[in-house]
Amino acid sequence: MLVKPMGRGYQTNCYLLTSDDKTIIIDPGIEATQWVIQNAKNPIAILNTHGHFDHTYDDALLQRALKIPVYIRSEDSFMLDSDRYDPNREPCKADVCVSDEELIELEGFRFRFRHFAGHTPGCSMIEFEDRIFSGDFIFDDTIGRYDFPASSPRDMKRSLERFMSLYADDNRPLYPGHGKPTDIQNARKFLPAFIDALRFY
Ligand SMILES: [Zn+2]
């Protein structure tokens, strides 16, 4: 797996996950295109953890250049058309709007979009058998912001509680949208304090 922080100070991690000589691109942020084209062996799909522009900025360019589909949860697909924080981004239309958590099988890859709303309505962790891409839901020592226009503190609280019950006996690594990797058991240590801080929602 390759990772590179992208774009204009946002330092959004773009991941290239390769298996059997095929590559999945996760969150191609600002100016990711050249690096992706140079480094992705046989790219087959673009997956977005959520719709914020710093994670999806180069979706349209790569979708066109590589002729591969863009996946995002249906609740965030509206953000690909317009993001008030960056009007210069080329709009993109998702090819696959994921609306459930069923296992997706794609050319040897198996993954699902686990829905953890809060940071955005369709914020997801993209879960593979041996690793999870946690987007802006969970970082190595904190959680994602829930004060953006489409955020919901109430949903964030529910999502954190769901994380705690869903992954009780799991210790897969978590690869966040910004910063260093962590793992589920480390996140389980600091999440209760955040759930407590959200207790009035
Ligand atoms: Zn975000």
Render pLDDT for 7-36 as a digit per residue (tens, 0 to 9). 878 999 999 999 999 999 999 999 999 999
Calculate how far, in angstroms, residue 173's C-alpha sits from the geometric centre of ligand 1: 20
Calculate how far, in angstroms, residue 26's C-alpha sits from the geometric centre of ligand 1: 13
Complete edge-to-edge strand list for the sheet that includes strand 132-135: 104-106, 109-115, 124-128, 132-135, 173-176, 182-183
Calculate how far, in angstroms, residue 20's C-alpha sits from the geometric centre of ligand 1: 30
Residue 171 belongs to domain spanning: 2-98+106-197
Calculate how far, in angstroms, residue 123's C-alpha sits from the geometric centre of ligand 1: 8
C-alpha closest to that of 177 among 117, 103, 119: 119
Q: Are 39 and 16 in contact (CB under 8 A)?
A: yes
Tell me which amino acid residue 162 is.
R
Calculate how far, in angstroms, residue 165's C-alpha sits from the geometric centre of ligand 1: 24
CATH number (domain holding residue 157):
3.60.15.10
DSSP-based three-state secondary structure for 186: helix
Residues with CB under 5 A from ligand 1 (ion): 52, 136
Calculate how far, in angstroms, residue 21's C-alpha sits from the geometric centre of ligand 1: 30
Calculate how far, in angstroms, residue 56's C-alpha sits from the geometric centre of ligand 1: 10
How confident is the model at residue 7, as a pLDDT? 82
Q: How does residue 81 score in pLDDT terms, banded at 50, 70 and 90?
A: confident
Calculate how far, in angstroms, residue 6's C-alpha sits from the geometric centre of ligand 1: 14
Calculate how far, in angstroms, residue 120's C-alpha sits from the geometric centre of ligand 1: 7
Domain count across the chain: 1
Residue pLDDT, tens place only, 148-179? 999 999 999 999 999 999 999 999 999 999 99
DSSP 27: -
